[in-house]
Structure 1
Amino acid sequence: MTISQTMTAARMHTVGGELRLETLETPKPGDMDVLVRVKACGIVPNLGNILANWTTWFPHMPLPPLPAVFGLDPAGEVAALGRQVHGLKPGDRVYVNPGRSCGSCRHCRRGDPISCKHYAFQGYFGFSEHAMQTFADYPIGGLSEYMVAPVSAIVKIPDHMDYGQAARLGYLGTAYSALKKVNAGPGDTILVNGISGTLGIGAAIFGLAMGVNKILGTGRDKALLEEIKALAPNRVEVFSIADGSVTDFAMKHTDGEGVDAFLDCLGPGGLHETFRQGLLSLRRGGIAVDIGAIAGPVEIDVHRLMDRNQRLYGSAWLTTAEGQEMADMVGSGVVDLSLLETQSYPLSEVNSAISGIAQRHGGFSNYVICP
């Protein structure tokens, strides 16, 4: 495979400024790294607004030093390998988990890299001031023709999984990781707030594949909710929060016992009351997981959680192992991602794409930049 000495990348020079297409030197992989030729990089709608306001909204979660190449969810093909990398070869089709950790702290050594104080998203943001070293080690995100990542971040994808679908694995995997934390499986009934959105649809897809007996989904858009129900009409029930209490809906479908697990996919603008109603929907011993990052202090009756032996987790992202499990589920045919409606944009249109995509089909829409 021929590798150019230079590459085109989109770099942000000032917070809120447009990304500039620039020619950079093609990075070289270290001994335990992989050079990936990026074929698709996932973006969330309105990413430009997020980047412009990030330092105001979340000043404790730093952006990489500017100028920086962003791009959170890359997929592509292996272009070159570090000399100590085995089990991969040039041309392999892969997804790159952007989660980076130090690899040597006690959390990393025991297989919990997301708890590392250096944890950061390559091509996006860090979770504390300790992330700056991580950015220095891996400064190039997916909005570029090539990027380097540690081999520990590489997920091999099946031939029939296109790069656009693979570029959604991060957000799908956020829901999948939450499902694993609640041990979702046959016999269970789970409640998903915001089931028709970017995160929620992953809970529906993988919850069904994991054998969950019944999925109760809430949202606002009744038409989108009906499309979710159509995925498995006998196993999915949906409810618009405009029609009443989420708790009443959940109790109705569990004979008053409550759900085994509650996944909240509502974003920072989500209603606190809807989140609280989800918690009140749990059975004794039930587990709640927040993956949507609802913002601000939420009033919770901790005594009730204790009395009912319930748990509330915060869950950020996914591990590379979980990403590989998901890709393998697609490979075996247990999961079909053809329902994702991928819209691709060339790197030259990156600023138009990230400034805000007007036409969206809820979580079914899938937006990618193809360098």
Structure 2
Amino acid sequence: MNRTMIAARLHALGTPMSLDTIPIPKPRPTDVLVKVMACGIVPNMANVINNWPSWFPHQPLPRFPAVFGLDPVGIVEEVGEAVINTRPGDRVYVSPLRSCGSCQACRAGQRSHCRYFTLNGYFSTSRDGQRIFDLYPYGGFSQYMTAPEYAIVDIPNNLSFEQAGRFGYLGTSYGALKNAGAGPGQVALIDGITGTLGVAATMLGLAMGLSQILGTGRDERLLARIKALAPERIQVMKLGHGSTGEWAKSLTGGEGADFAISALGAKAPASTMLDSMKGVRRGGKVVNVGGVAEDLPIDVKWLMDEQIQLIGSNWFTTAQGQEMAEMVRTGTLDLSYLEHRTFPLSRVNEAISGLKDRDGGFSNYVVLPQVVDAA
């Protein structure tokens, strides 16, 4: 007799998710079955889902009814017969990155370069992404889910399920920092430092030994909170109070930052990013993880003359996820700054609809699938 679980499923755009009782899936030989204890929430996910098909028609959502939920964390319940290292009882973060596993990029360990690159529980970057969704149809807004063993990150006991539910954003920032070659003694410029990706990049940059972090944002109160994290190593400026590029160079003896992380977000004007790019030193890097609202008109001769590298960074590897878990285990990375607000599965529609009391990148909103109704 099949066991059942409760999952929040979206049956059509513009409608709320419903709580459905469906069978608990059986893991295939190379898969694991995870009992989902928490799932991080994409801010304003309801608006994103409903508008995604018109915004990005080349990046499809899964076929409905669909189980969303990008950042699942839980306990391994069962493993397939070909799974070697993962065991029942393991505490894990399940990276949503899925790929075909057999192309040149996948064989080289670069799964995000695969043409089938799909974020399980969210969207695919491929028009053929439904093939991946068919293999892994369960996101984190369900009580159980299957995942390939390659997606599993072991998490330590001193990392709570709620904290691990932020690993998607932390990992996106960590992947950007790795692409920038971040390390001890360097100076970073983080545009959008008060947002989810910006705060994550700041905490990770401090843990990675950056000597100085220069950050911009629009909320003065949040900028003050960011600076208070490490007053001797963090300098902040409110956007609109002068040129970001000139400010960054004035604080670095005219040299500029070693790299810039652009985490502004999809509503920011391109001019803001162009300004911050001018705050990077000759031979530096600019890594984008947020996007801007319009095409970026770049002076390619300046890019050539200054030997600036412009890098698009999307998600992170499972190995990088494991590195972050190890940083937490050893105390190198402190996630106590996260302020959790949790929701039972029955309130998932409220949780994804864009909460009004967000405190920038300090707030952490999480759905608890094992808690169906509020107490």
Q: TM-score scaled by structure 1?
A: 0.98
TM-superposed deviation, 1:91:
1.2
Q: What residue number does 2:5 align with?
A: 7
CA distance in 2 between counterparts of 1:150 and 1:123 reads: 14
DSSP 3-state at the match of 2:170 = helix
CA distance in 2 between counterparts of 1:255 and 1:12 reads: 54
Q: What residue number does 1:322 align with?
A: 320
TM-superposed deviation, 1:201:
0.7
DSSP 3-state at the match of 1:348 = helix
TM-superposed deviation, 1:189:
0.5
Q: What residue number does 2:304 align with?
A: 306
Q: What residue number does 1:359 align with?
A: 357
Paired letter, 1:340: L
Q: What residue number does 2:373 align with?
A: none
| CA deviation string 1:34-90 (max 9, x = no partner) | 100000001122211111111111111100001100000000010000111122221
Paired letter, 2:223: L
Q: What residue number does 1:50 align with?
A: 48
Query: Map of 1:171-182 to 2, 5 A cutoff?
Result: 171-182=169-180
**Is the 1:16–1:53 Cα contact (8 Å) retained in structure 2?**
no
Q: What residue number does 1:19 align with?
A: 17
Q: What residue number does 1:276 align with?
A: 274
CA distance in 2 between counterparts of 1:246 and 1:293 reads: 17
Paired letter, 1:308: E
Which one of 190, 196, 199 corresponds to residue 198 of structure 1?
196
Which one of 240, 264, 267 corresponds to residue 266 of structure 1?
264
CA distance in 2 between counterparts of 1:271 and 1:216 reads: 20
Q: What residue number does 2:187 align with?
A: 189
**Is the 2:184–2:208 Cα contact (8 Å) retained in structure 1?**
yes
Q: What residue number does 1:59 align with?
A: 57
| CA deviation string 1:314-361 (max 9, x = no partner) | 000111000000010000000110110011000011111112211011
Paired letter, 2:115: K
CA distance in 2 between counterparts of 1:182 and 1:46 reads: 28
**Is the 2:246–2:278 Cα contact (8 Å) retained in structure 1?**
no
Determine if the alignment matches structure 1 residue 244 to structure 2 residue 219: no
Q: What residue number does 2:289 align with?
A: 291
Query: Map of 1:125-204 to 2, 5 A cutoff?
Result: 125-204=123-202
CA distance in 2 between counterparts of 1:336 and 1:179 reads: 17
CA distance in 1 between counterparts of 2:150 and 2:64 reads: 26
DSSP 3-state at the match of 1:136 = helix
DSSP 3-state at the match of 1:61 = coil
**Is the 2:33–2:144 Cα contact (8 Å) retained in structure 1?**
yes
TM-superposed deviation, 1:231:
0.8
Unpaired runs of 5+ in structure 1?
A: none
CA distance in 2 between counterparts of 1:300 and 1:4 reads: 57
CA distance in 2 between counterparts of 1:181 and 1:126 reads: 22
CA distance in 2 between counterparts of 1:23 and 1:298 reads: 46
**Is the 1:350–1:369 Cα contact (8 Å) retained in structure 2?**
yes
TM-superposed deviation, 1:100:
0.3
Moved over 3 A (4+): none
TM-superposed deviation, 1:311:
0.3
CA distance in 2 between counterparts of 1:127 and 1:295 reads: 19
Paired letter, 2:338: L
**Is the 1:344–1:368 Cα contact (8 Å) retained in structure 2?**
yes
CA distance in 2 between counterparts of 1:77 and 1:251 reads: 48
DSSP 3-state at the match of 2:128 = helix
Q: What residue number does 1:98 align with?
A: 96
DSSP 3-state at the match of 1:130 = coil
Unpaired runs of 5+ in structure 2?
A: 370-375
Which one of 224, 227, 249 corresponds to residue 225 of structure 2?
227
DSSP 3-state at the match of 1:218 = strand
TM-superposed deviation, 1:4:
7.5
CA distance in 2 between counterparts of 1:224 and 1:145 reads: 35
**Is the 1:43–1:368 Cα contact (8 Å) retained in structure 2?**
yes
Which one of 212, 216, 223 corresponds to residue 210 of structure 2?
212
TM-superposed deviation, 1:177:
0.6
Paired letter, 2:157: D
Sequence identity percentage: 52
CA distance in 2 between counterparts of 1:168 and 1:357 reads: 16
TM-superposed deviation, 1:260:
0.4
Q: TM-score scaled by structure 2?
A: 0.97
Superposed CA RMSD: 1.1
CA distance in 2 between counterparts of 1:158 and 1:220 reads: 35
**Is the 1:38–1:77 Cα contact (8 Å) retained in structure 2?**
yes
Q: What residue number does 1:124 align with?
A: 122
CA distance in 1 between counterparts of 2:190 and 2:350 reads: 32
